[in-house]
Amino acid sequence: MCGACDLAALAAGVLSFCALPRGSRVPAALAFLNALTPDRFTAVYRIEGMSISNVHMFDRLAGHGRDETISPVAQTFCLWIQETLSVVQMS
């Protein structure tokens, strides 16, 4: 497929996304992003202090959901966040 065709498909996708009601944009965006990865879950997290909570989640097997569990950052899977917080705390 040519570059112009890819750009046309991308533009059409963006226009379709922008036409969605505001309340459905986050679930649609997460579903779209999830389709681009081999991973089962795609999510948006909120970090407050040393805690992390799931704000929006897309599960490839179950669709959109939300897990309101609040966890200490040190006990989560996200090593990037743990490393970033370690550097910030040392500063």
| pLDDT single digits (tens) 5-25 | 577 777 777 777 777 767 677
Q: What is this structure's pTM?
A: 0.57
What pLDDT is stored for residue 33 in this prediction? 82
As a whole number of angstroms, the distance between CA 44 and CA 26 comes to: 9
Helix (H, G, I), strand (E, B) or coil at 69: coil
Do 62 and 83 form a contact (C-beta atoms < 8 A)?
A: no
Low-confidence stretches of the chain (pLDDT beneath 70): 1-5, 21, 23, 77-82, 84-91
Residue 79: what pLDDT? 64
